[in-house]
Amino acid sequence: MATPTSSFFLLPLFFVFLFLLTGSDAVFDVVKFGAKADGSADSARSFLKAWSYACNSRSPATVYVPAGKFFVTQAVFRGPCKNSMIKFLIQGTLVAPSNYGGSGGSDQWIAFSGVNGVSISGGGTLDGGGSRLWACKLAGRSCPSGTSSLTFVNSKNIAVDGLTSIDSKLFHIVVLRCQNVKLSRVNIVASGNSPNTDGIHVQMSTGVDILQANIRTGDDCISVGPGTAHLWIERVFCGPGHGISIGSLGRAQGLQEESVRNVTVKTVTFSGTQNGVRIKTWGTRIQGQVRGVVFEDALMRNVQNPIIIDQNYCPGNKGCPGQSSGIKISQVKYKNIRGTSATPVAVTFDCSPRNPCSGITLQDIKLSYYSQRAQSSCKYANGVASGLNVPPSCL
């Protein structure tokens, strides 16, 4: 007799059979595991079941999400798995709960934890449903911090291609304690006044590439947290948003590693953003360094702070008044940065009196303040300028 339990066990046999028959990878369609493309029935368990089959497969496997809207309360896909070639083929849209109290204190909506060799493709969408939470935060009420839409944690060999993320409650994409991650053709959209909706946040991770991203959001387009090394960002459009930011570093959080090394940001356009390329540290004594950064070929359109190093970040003067940053910034190169500043000071280096910036290079900078001349401002900043420099360098 075909009880639900026996069909549950027969299903994987069927897929194994299909696999042997066709010689192709095993495909686990979430709909076959009970997911409903109606945008309202919770499909989280079906997604997790499909994942467990893919994860336990000894050969490459695909989790398939067909077209349609799938409501998913929360799904954390955990490794380790028995194969290191799992494809998530998403053609539909995953929809998060729009009420924001239900995440049980977790800051993750869709997450991959402890996996090796996972790729996401198919042109699908994650809809974080953040607008009600943003309204709560904007009203200054006491609200939960919310969930990030897509998190990779403690994972390696990850590829995401062609994914769209809209209206996250917190960050759109988070890469935390990962190695070898490639995010390409990611499209991120949230309202320009949505709080804390960073596009991509990278922290404690090595070997992350972000290529061809289109990011319109309410906070940093890309934020780079402590412990990041060998990060490559190329062909990114940013705006609205707060720009591409290394930091904030040096916040009193008990983090061990407060350093960022070897970051390249190349061929980027900023439009109407608060910052262009920024390095930001709290004015606290916490030690660390930012070393080996290249910002190259950037176009600024009406950007408030096109080039900025701010080592005196201390909102509300709480926890750090009068302290100078213990983070040492060195070997930072700005090359071929052009366009318009929305404020008179287009280049700001506000470094730490205790740890002056060193080895700053400016080469071919051409920034104007509408039709007027823009200015540069330097405090405790050392380095050299070459080529064209408009505004004149203050190094």
Ligand X SMILES: *[C@@H]1O[C@H](CO)[C@@H](O)[C@H](O)[C@H]1NC(C)=O
What are the catalytic residues? 242
Helix (H) or strand (E) holding 137: helix 131-138
* DSSP β-bridge partners for residue 127: 95, 166
Q: Is 6 buried (19+), middle (13-18) or exposed (0-12) by CB count in 10 A?
A: exposed
CB of 263 to ligand X, least distance (A): 8
CB of 56 to ligand X, least distance (A): 33
Q: 178: Cβ–Cβ under 8 A, 6 or more apart, which residues?
A: 152, 153, 154, 155, 156, 158, 205, 206, 208
Helix (H) or strand (E) holding 180: strand 179-184
Nearest partner of 176 among 138, 109, 226, 216, judged by Cα: 226
The residues of the shown chain that bind ligand X, judged by CB under 6 A, are: 230, 232, 262, 264
> Six-digit token pair at 138?
């904007």
* DSSP β-bridge partners for residue 88: 63, 120
> Six-digit token pair at 345?
């000071």
Query: Quick one: the chain helix, strand, coil %, rounded to 5?
Result: 10, 50, 35
Backbone angles phi and psi of 122, in degrees to 5: 110, -5
Instruction: Note whether 173 and 148 are within 8 A (CB).
Output: yes
Instruction: Note whether 326 and 284 are within 8 A (CB).
Output: yes
Please count the other Cβ atoms lying within 10 Å of the Cβ belonging to residue 270: 29
Angle at 195 between CA 231 and CA 270, to 5 degrees: 50
CA atoms within 13 A on the CB side of 83: 18
Angle at 144 between CA 141 and CA 150, to 5 degrees: 135
